[in-house]
Structure 1
Amino acid sequence: MSPVIIVALLLLLGALGVLFFPWSARHVTARSALNRRFYQSRLQELAREGHGPDDPLVVELQRTLLNDIPETDDAGQPAGGRFRRRSLIPGALVLILVSTGVYLKTSSPGELLAWQQARQQFPQLLRQAGDPAADPLSDGQLAELALGLRSQLQDEPGNTAYWQMLGRIGMVLNDNPMARGAFGRAWQLAPRDPLVILDYASALVRAGEQGSIRQGEMLLRDTLARNGPDARVLDLLAFSEYQQQRYAQAAAHWQQALALTPGDDPQHAVISGNLRQARQRSQP
């Protein structure tokens, strides 16, 4: 049980204790005892003065005492006190229900349990994701791994590899906002790393937003200008231009990428097919 739940339960029990504590009964008991003492003292004074039991002063004193002392039941409780205690039960139930509702609304226990489970399974899922011989992770396991990575990155915000892994999980799960955010953080940590730039630019050009696409293409062109021709960068830039219906520019970049890709590389056939399609679209 988490400390938050323990504190909430203690506060609730304290509130119920205050609600049911017999404040009024204690007050009535103390007042009754004081009245009886006063009655006995006054009765002794009247006896010393020669007043008998039937004297009007004694009778009036007895009547006043009976009016001041409330009736009690067989258990010694003030009359009606038990009824008042029972009348508090609906209020106590309402307090419990409201407290439970507020807790469920504000604390999201389901999300908390999912986070705790992800934290526990994170090391195992991380090893499985990095083992080529292990079974591929399902979408549910990838989501748990992403949650575990987010939690781990709270402790290691400068871990570029974890940010890249989180971004790739976002790409696999078609969660482009998560991918862009994670790759963006990795790029801020390593703005000159070609792999980081390629990952970030890939998420940007696939975002479907013109501002993000322009930013991604700018990163790709800056990388080409700084590091020289690269098949992966050219391929991604050609893909973005093709998506923007700039078929001639796409064909030119795919032609460059094809020249840099070995013939036995599976990507060679993919780039060749893309080049052929771009040339067909570029013809009037």
Structure 2
Amino acid sequence: MIEFWLSAGLLLLAALAFLLIPVLRARKVQAEEDRTALNVTLYQERLRELEDEHEAGILTAAQLQAGRDEAARELLADTEDAASGARTGVLGGKVPLIAALLMPLLGYGLYLNWGAIDQVERAQVLAEQPKSIEEMTARLEATVKDNPESAEGWYFLGRTYMAQERAGEAAKAFERAVAIVGREPELLGQWAQALYFAGNKQWTGQIQGLIDEALKADAAEVTSLGLLGIAAFEAGRYAEAIDHWQRLVAALPEQDPSRQAIEGGIARARERLQSAGEAKASAAAPAQLTVKVELAAALREQVQPGDSVFVFARAVSGPPMPLAVKRLTVADLPAEVSLSDSDAMMPQLKLSGFAQVQLVARVSRNGDATAGEWVGRSQPLASSSTEPQQLTIDTAEGQGQ
């Protein structure tokens, strides 16, 4: 608070300076008026001296008139600047002086009435590094008590409760944040997670509804995907847990510290799946798709033999990057291509990790796999499909999305 009051004091001094300038000017005007009065007195005495000398015969009438003119010119020169200053100081110095004295009291009173000193004090407290999580919790509780409409306060309080394993209180905090800011996917995921742990890891219709709503708004909402993986793992549905956690890993940044823990969970789920003898484990039963790719007859005159052709599979519900990819040229068409887990661009993104995929073939003259001139797409199909698929490149890039 010292910094705040110091800043306020400096601003007040600046305001006082503007008010005191007229006071100083008024003093200067008074000094000029006093000097003018003295000059007039001296002028009058000079005129009397000239009159006496004229009567005594010392000065002629012409000399008397010349003396009078000289005295008048001197008086005019001495009073010219003073007259200008007097015009600027008509209001005097009393009103600015009174305003300067009243300003500190008036400003303090107005700030107490309409200011936000409590918010300044609260921000100062929150800016200090807490010594423990309990101290942080106490600060956040005081924040939402003083400002119950702070969605950020309720959100961080919920996160802090979760760190203290107080899931029931966290669920109420997240519910309050949702009521204030709206049904944001991240808040819904956090709320569902708190309810899950508060209810001894029992899945409920409310939790399912929150998760469905969150993923509908954001298919890569990380808390929801992580919770689905946890619930599936706890229920022994290891293949399902792997699917959710693989989607979660794909949505996280490369440097995210939680990636390693999630990948460890995927490895444990695969071990459990293998030990239980389930054949759907992605590592034990890699998927393989066979697709015959050809070019539409209408496009054969519009492409060149050396143009690149990228054939890949991508998840229908999941990350946009390809799960498996092969590269050909137009001269190779028609061609039969096999796509499998061994063609994966990333180890954690494989065909076997996703239930449904779409096949895509793209002609790219500049060799860019993400953009080209012509494309062909299949309907969604199961990644475990063993029947050969047919794919025709027949659509201009950007159409038929």
> What band does the TM-score fall into relative to the shorter chain?
0.3 to 0.5
Which structure: greater strand fraction? 2
TM-score normalized by structure 1? 0.48
Question: Which protein has greater RCO, CA pairs closer than 8 Å, 6+ apart?
Answer: 2
